[in-house]
Chains A and B, each alone.
Chain A
């Protein structure tokens, strides 16, 4: 069965420091991987995705993520955090070998960036 794990409920980082939000996944076939961000009282917004090709993908607001097949990970990164990056981040996976109709979301990681 497909699953997504975000091992940290919360990540704290100082403004200007690099940030990493971790995600590992489990699928039976090859994965499509996504990151979404949720600001308070809002719906989720798409940040970036890995479909195929280059393992390092770049997305909105300066975020990037690295796909690591051997470690089944897709960690979200940003070189220099901003206070405005504080939000709830969700990793998600689709299994391309089972039709991809359903997306499985992780439980979310809350990011706090302190000024």
Chain B
């Protein structure tokens, strides 16, 4: 049982390049989330999904797109990277809303130059 995994762990992009971050979970969780973590700002929600084939915008969705084609995978895409997207990205999943805690992946450190 690997829990929540993220690939890649590190990436450096030039401004304007694109990339996709992959999140996978093997706990059969319905809900999945993408956050970014910046110093002094905690975690901010980018997008989330409440089930296969569904996605919704979070607090800071601009410049990102997501897809949930399979229940176990949640992809985060950057179409045209900007230096402001330099951050650590975390994926999380949970059984459901409200009372359930989230399980987090190890993070992806992205630098955009």
Please list the residues of chain A having a beta carbon within 8 angstroms of any beta carbon in chain B: 4, 9, 32, 34, 36, 41-46, 49, 51, 90, 94, 96, 99-103, 105-108
Contacts and interface: CB of A to CB of B under 8 A. Distances in A.
8 contacts: A43-B92, A43-B105, A46-B102, A101-B31, A103-B45, A105-B35, A106-B42, A107-B41
B97 A94 contact: yes
A44 B43 CA distance: 10
Nearest to B33: A103
Interface residues of B, number: 27
A44 B48 contact: no
Residue in B59, B101, B105 with the greatest tally of chain A CB atoms within 10 Å = B101
B107 A42 contact: yes
Contacts of A105: 35, 42-44
A10 to B, nearest CB: 11
Contacts of B41: 107
Interface in B80-103: 90, 92, 97-99, 101-103
A96 B45 CA distance: 18
Contacts of B35: 105
Given A49-B101, A51-B99, A101 B50 contact: yes
B104 interface: yes
Interface in B34-51: 35, 40-45, 48, 50
Q: Closest 5 interchain pairs by CB? A: A43-B104, A100-B98, A100-B97, A46-B101, A105-B42
A45 B106 CA distance: 10
B76 interface: no
Q: Identify the interface centre among B56, B58, B102: most chain A CB within 10 Å of its CB.
A: B102
Contact of A108 (B42, B103, B104): B42
Given A44-B90, A94-B98, A107 B42 contact: yes
